[in-house]
Structure 1
């Protein structure tokens, strides 16, 4: 699994997450990757959008965001079409698996995903954000 964030000021680093993720893993990822990206680009005045995965909506996670004063965008469950990052994941999948490409190892696939993430342009991100 991978984690990444986008905004009008750019994209975060792409993080490879190993194994099954629980709320405390997600909180660590947010603390180490999303918050530095958001604070660097937007200060403390930003709205964070995430899907309604159980680790995102758990009491532990929502309490974490409340304690930090992070504003979460409320949106309906089962609405991936309203989340621009879902379109970024589709772009990555198209790039990674173009021409029926198959991978023979996790490191090979990881390298391809990282290369695809690096190739996502600000124009593509802005277009997706503006479409919402």
Structure 2
């Protein structure tokens, strides 16, 4: 069946004037406008001759306001099914429509979460004579006066504390920390040194990961940084093996202390760390950062147990 031409707003206004003001009959309006009698009758009976014509096609089942209500509901009720939600939220939709909407919203959420880059960070102290695992050093038997064990590091406080930040773009920053690390010093380090490097690679849209060390968890510090645009990742306690930075530390340690080399002061050690950090390629970092989600799935599968 061929659809007739839609009545324009000007013709609707003419019909209104002829009917309401001039009190003409339907036949008289038909003779003056040329519009079919049935159309004129429908417009007058429905009272729509003075309204804008509506868009054709079905209305959306769930609009944006409804989707927002669904999101807020599932934040607190994650186990609710798609059959109960329409009645609970008073949405006039079928369960199948609700299920399709939930799947589409979940897909959009997963896509958005994958697009937002994650910045992984950690601190580590490099010592003069090797990594922390080297607890002792060799000594000739005739030079040893007693049976006590000698520490490999002559002074346990000698060394360089390093803060490292990585993402899919590679190593973002490698900074030296002097003195004791507290909340104020950590905030200054991140905002002044790390944040500009993040903005260069990822603009202002990123998620910042930090462990649960006390300098990172200061209430005032975190609130102030969140006001400045930081979005922190909730990190489980005692989970260093989930952080890809640990793999980069292992890579740097092998290269900094290659062939059993040792260092005499902080400056020499820091220069070696900077040199080796600059040699770490983006591909090497991505081999660990892109496996982050697989690590989480494997950790859940093993229920926190050992996983190779």
The TM-score normalised by the length of structure 1 is: 0.93
Higher helix share: 1
> How many angstroms apart in 2 are the aligned matches of 1:77 and 1:37?
27
> How many angstroms apart in 2 are the aligned matches of 1:91 and 1:128?
11
- Provide the aligned C-alpha RMSD in A: 1.2
Structure with larger RCO (C-alpha < 8 A, sep 6+): 1
Partner of 1:95: 255
Is the counterpart of residue 31 in structure 1 residue 191 in structure 2?
Answer: yes
Partner of 2:230: 70
> How many angstroms apart in 1 are the aligned matches of 2:270 and 2:199?
27
Deviation at 1:34, TM superposition (A): 1.8
Q: Within 5 A, what are the aligned runs for 1:81-92?
A: 81-92=241-252
- The count of residues paired between Structure 1 and Structure 2 equals 132
> How many angstroms apart in 1 are the aligned matches of 2:259 and 2:224?
43
Deviation at 1:48, TM superposition (A): 0.6
Partner of 2:166: 6
CA displacement 1:97-126 (0-9 Å, x = unmatched): 122111111111111111111111111100
Deviation at 1:61, TM superposition (A): 2.3
Runs of at least 5 residues in structure 1 that lack an aligned partner in the other structure: none
> How many angstroms apart in 2 are the aligned matches of 1:89 and 1:126?
14
- Among 203, 207, 210, the residue aligned to 1:50: 210
Is the counterpart of residue 128 in structure 1 residue 288 in structure 2?
Answer: yes
Q: Max radius of gyration: which structure?
A: 2
Runs of at least 5 residues in structure 2 that lack an aligned partner in the other structure: 1-160, 293-308
The TM-score normalised by the length of structure 2 is: 0.41
Deviation at 1:69, TM superposition (A): 2.7
CA displacement 1:2-31 (0-9 Å, x = unmatched): 112111123223211111011110000111
> How many angstroms apart in 1 are the aligned matches of 2:224 and 2:247?
27
Cα contact 2:186–2:216 (8 A) shared by 1: yes
Cα contact 1:23–1:56 (8 A) shared by 2: yes
> How many angstroms apart in 2 are the aligned matches of 1:25 and 1:51?
16
